[in-house]
Structure 1
Amino acid sequence: MGIGASITVCQSLSSIKIKHCSNKVRPELRRSFGVPLDSSTEEEQGHHVPLVVRHTVGYLEEFGLNHKGLFRISGSATKIKALKKKYDEGSEVDLVKEGDVDSVASLLKLFLNELPIAVFPDALCTEIVTTFEDNTNHMAECMGCLQRLLSSLPKAHYSLFHFLVRFLVKVASYSDENHMTLENLAIVFGPALFRIPCSPSACEKQTICNAILLHFLQRHKEIFADGSSGKCSLIEGNDGPQNICPTLLHQGLTEEAEETNHS
């Protein structure tokens, strides 16, 4: 190779510009579904309720309160899957354009059902059921125990439960239009908030959990009277503690369930 050729090669090499790679490794996206409540809340932004729950509840308060059969009718599987995917990817979601009442309601239930630890964790759920079963003849003492158990929920769980209770009570206030009474809502959300392991007595225990949820809904003002402290304060009414008859509750909830299934 001659001198001229060498100079040409050197000039060609000197003209090459090296582009430094500016791509940075993206941090792994944090899923919204199927993750513990403690990691799905946004406490750094002042929020203690998961984004999916705040979005779906906000949408349903705007468009779903008058919807007949709210939470009874399953939404579009395609829409639910697409919305879930966008939340898990961290994409912006426009529920008004991309959803509908039944699909958004189903999305909320799906979020609760996919929590790896239920709103009422297994150990606490067992304590609540046992307390209720062991004190059916002493309901004043029973409710005092349930109060203490409720206040022992982890902060993220307590905040979500408080948020959902206020929403469900609001839904029930439109029951003349949406046909969703507190009893119906307790049947729908009981299995998502209290998860009973499979056993011969599972159905009976689930009915008890639904009855406990119903009582929480009926007495939400007293239960969350001290909401600012992040702990519950169950205050007895002027007429004394409300007695709960498990047999009558079981009968009432069963009748509501049958009505729901036939509607």
Structure 2
Amino acid sequence: MSLPPPPPGQLPLRRRRRRPTLLGLCTEGLYRVSGNKTDQDNIQKQFDQDHNINLVSMEVTVNAVAGALKAFFADLPDPLIPYSLHPELLEAAKILDKTERLHALKEIVKKFHPVNYDVFRYVITHLNRVSQQNKINLMTADNLSICFWPTLMRPDFENREFLSTTKIHQSVVETFIQQCQFFFYNGEIVETTNIVAPPPPSNPGQLVEPMVPLQLPPPLQPQLIQPQLQTDPLGII
């Protein structure tokens, strides 16, 4: 028995469904709102045992998976953005001319170990996609950089001298997110405006959404040479 055709001007149901990945990107407060800690720990535990875990069958929320992803990078032996390049990044970020500053940052990124570079590109590309949905998820590039720069750079917060450069560290990651196409895909420099997202709702529970497929990257050892990553190892870009 075949289904009747849809009314004029209306797509079939299977075509009108939004892609699961897009639904995840539109989760309000993504990467800012914490997920269930027990679920997050369970995701990490199962991922250590099987990198092809089925997150949908685990029935966890997007926020729990987002937290597990951040924890993955926080637990690496060394930060994804190498400590050795932090001084260069900070100096480049101080260049007043925008075009010159972006080209300087781009040259520094090329110094990343190939594994670090590939994973960093995927992460920043994903965060750029998240920021494109900021009218729905309230997560601008600025908000995302606040959430992610400590994880990606892992600075010494006990160092008093460092405290004076925290905003510069954040601005570096924000710039990478905003200018993703320029840094990694030979795109043009885009004009950016500082869009301030509305404050999150007072009840964080309203931000929880059913889980959608999301594959975490394989174990990363930045200090070792590894084979080139397959296309889209994160499964989220």
TM-score band by shorter chain is 0.5 to 0.7
* Amino acid aligned to 1:161: F
* Amino acid aligned to 1:206: T
Q: 1:152 to 1:92 in 2, by over 3 A?
A: closer
Q: 1:260 to 1:207 in 2, by over 3 A?
A: farther
2:147 matches 1:192: no
* CA–CA distance in structure 2, aligned partners of residues 60 and 150 of structure 1: 31
| Counterpart secondary structure, 2:156 | coil
Q: TM-score, normalised by structure 2?
A: 0.66
* CA–CA distance in structure 2, aligned partners of residues 261 and 116 of structure 1: 36
Q: Contact (CA 8 Å) 2:35, 2:64: kept in 1 or not? A: yes
Map residues 6-21 of structure 1 onto 2, 5 A cutoff.
none
* CA–CA distance in structure 1, aligned partners of residues 83 and 130 of structure 2: 27
Per-residue deviation, 1:140:
3.9
Aligned-residue RMSD, C-alpha: 3.0
Q: Contact (CA 8 Å) 1:182, 1:217: kept in 2 or not? A: yes
Per-residue deviation, 1:236:
5.6
Q: 1:153 to 1:260 in 2, by over 3 A?
A: farther
Q: What 5-or-longer segments of structure 1 have no aligned partner?
A: 1-58, 227-233
- Give the corresponding residue for 1:179: 138
* CA–CA distance in structure 2, aligned partners of residues 78 and 153 of structure 1: 34
Map residues 85-164 of structure 1 onto 2, 5 A cutoff.
85-90=45-50, 92-98=52-58, 99-133=60-94, 135=95, 137-164=96-123
Q: Contact (CA 8 Å) 2:179, 2:189: kept in 1 or not? A: no
* Amino acid aligned to 1:105: A
- Give the corresponding residue for 2:172: 212
Per-residue deviation, 1:125:
1.5
Q: Contact (CA 8 Å) 2:138, 2:200: kept in 1 or not? A: no
| Counterpart secondary structure, 2:150 | helix
Q: What 5-or-longer segments of structure 2 have no aligned partner?
A: 1-18, 205-237
Q: 1:114 to 1:60 in 2, by over 3 A?
A: farther
Q: TM-score, normalised by structure 1?
A: 0.60
* Amino acid aligned to 1:106: G
Structure having the larger proportion of residues in helix: 1
Per-residue deviation, 1:235:
5.5
Q: 1:130 to 1:117 in 2, by over 3 A?
A: same
Per-residue deviation, 1:196:
1.8
Q: Contact (CA 8 Å) 1:63, 1:101: kept in 2 or not? A: no
Aligned residues: 183
Q: Contact (CA 8 Å) 1:191, 1:206: kept in 2 or not? A: no
Which 4+ stretches in 1 moved above 4 angstroms?
Answer: 234-237, 258-263
* CA–CA distance in structure 1, aligned partners of residues 26 and 56 of structure 2: 16
Q: Contact (CA 8 Å) 2:130, 2:139: kept in 1 or not? A: yes
Per-residue deviation, 1:116:
1.2
- Give the corresponding residue for 2:36: 76
- Give the corresponding residue for 2:26: 66
* CA–CA distance in structure 1, aligned partners of residues 199 and 41 of structure 2: 29
* Amino acid aligned to 1:167: H
Q: Contact (CA 8 Å) 1:194, 1:206: kept in 2 or not? A: no
* Amino acid aligned to 1:187: I
Q: 1:109 to 1:60 in 2, by over 3 A?
A: farther
Per-residue deviation, 1:144:
2.7
Deviations 1:13-36 (A, max 9, x none): xxxxxxxxxxxxxxxxxxxxxxxx
Q: 1:205 to 1:220 in 2, by over 3 A?
A: same
Percent of aligned pairs with the same residue? Answer: 23
| Counterpart secondary structure, 1:115 | coil
